[in-house]
Amino acid sequence: MKLLYAIHKYDVFMFSWLINASIHNSLTRISRYVSRTGDGQLYVLVMALLYWHEGLQNMPLQAILLAFSLERPLYFVLKNGFRRNRPEAALKNFHSFIKPSDKFSFPSGHTSAAFMMATLLGHFFPILLIPLCCWAGLVGFSRVALGVHFPTDILVGCVMGISIALFSIGQII
């Protein structure tokens, strides 16, 4: 229990530091746009393009479909199992900058999906790996900057997304 308390205390410290940083207002504007890129529409577009290119025989598409079939259920089980309150509910006198789609924060689904897609696409298209990982990191950071996640929500989302992507690649190849 002491470990969980220490992690939460660290989370609140890092979250508060970012929210109170002098450049936070500028970050919030940019973060709204970056966060929207992780809402899911781009993933559907990528899958449609991959399908259009080679149909269901497309290995990247097969890996993405397998990964999402694992990631989404695991995400819902963890989110509803841990039931960690979002910063707005956990911290007095704080209001997030956007309205989240659900009640709980752990893990970050935006971050999980972004890192999963970045890892999958980066594996099959290596030239895109670094830009995609940077994008995924920005998606995760934007969720903290917008006040809907704590840093460890992002960290666990990142690990979860990469792990599921690597597992899916191993199953397809």
Structural domain boundaries, residue 137: 2-172
Name the active-site residue from 24, 53, 123, 149.
Answer: 149
pLDDT for 1: 65
For the CA atoms of 75, 12, 135, 27, the dihedral, rounded to the nearest 10 degrees, stands at 130
Burial bucket for residue 24 (CB in 10 Å: 0-12, 13-18, 19+) = middle
Please name which of 136, 173, 161 lies closest in space to residue 67, comparing C-alpha atoms: 161
For residue 104, list its beta bridge partners. Answer: 85
pLDDT for 69: 96
Residue type, 1: M
Would you tell me how many other CB atoms lie within 10 Å of the CB of residue 173? 10
The H-or-E segment that residue 136 falls in is: helix 129-145
For 83-122, b/e burial (b = at least 16 CB within 10 A) is ebebbeeebeeeebbeebeeebbbbbbbbbbbbbbbbbbb
What's the pTM value of the predicted model, to 2 decimals?
0.91
pLDDT for 154: 96
Would you tell me how many other CB atoms lie within 10 Å of the CB of residue 53? 11
* Cα(156)–Cα(109) distance, integer angstroms: 10
Active-site residue flag, 110? yes
* Cα(50)–Cα(144) distance, integer angstroms: 31
pLDDT for 22: 66
Q: What is the CATH number of the domain that holds 41?
A: 1.20.144.10
Name the active-site residue from 24, 53, 110, 123.
Answer: 110
CA distances 28 to 53, 65, 142, 163, Å, are 37, 32, 8, 29
Domain count across the chain: 1
Query: Mind listing the pLDDT tens digit of every residue in the chain (173 residues)?
Result: 677 778 888 888 888 888 777 676 788 889 999 999 999 999 999 999 999 988 888 899 999 999 999 999 999 999 999 999 899 888 888 888 888 888 899 999 999 999 999 999 999 999 999 999 999 999 999 999 999 999 999 999 999 999 999 999 998 87
Active-site residue flag, 53? no
Which structure tokens are listed for 143? 């969720």
* Cα(38)–Cα(112) distance, integer angstroms: 10
